[in-house]
Chain A
Amino acid sequence: MKAQIQRVMCAALAALALAPMASDAAVGCTLSNPARDLKSLFPEMTSYREDVKELPKFPQGRELYEALKKRVGGDLDPVYEAFDTPYTLYSVFKGEERLGYVHGVNVPGRGGVIQVFVSADPATAVISRFFFQRLESPGGTALRAKETREQFAGLSLADFYRHDYYAAVEPGSASDKVAQLKPPAALPEEARPDWDATLRGLRKNLILLDIFAFDRRHEPFYKRAEEARQAKGSKP
Chain B
Amino acid sequence: MIGILFTIFAPIIGGFVYGFERIIKARMQSRVGPPLLQPFYDFFKLMDKRALMIHSLHALMGIMYFISEWFAFGVLILGHDLLIAVFFHVIAVLALVIGASSVRSPYSVLGGLRELMHMISYEPLMVLMVIAFYVVTGSFNIENILHFDGYPILQLPLVFIAFVLTIPMLLQKSPFDIAEAHQELIGGPEIEYSGPFYEALYTGKWIEYLYVFTFVFLFAGSHYIVGAFLVIGVFLFINLLDNSTARLDFRRMVKFAWALLIPMAALNVILLAL
Do A and B truly interact? no
B interface residues (Cβ-Cβ under 8 A, vs A):
none
A interface residues (Cβ-Cβ under 8 A, vs B):
none
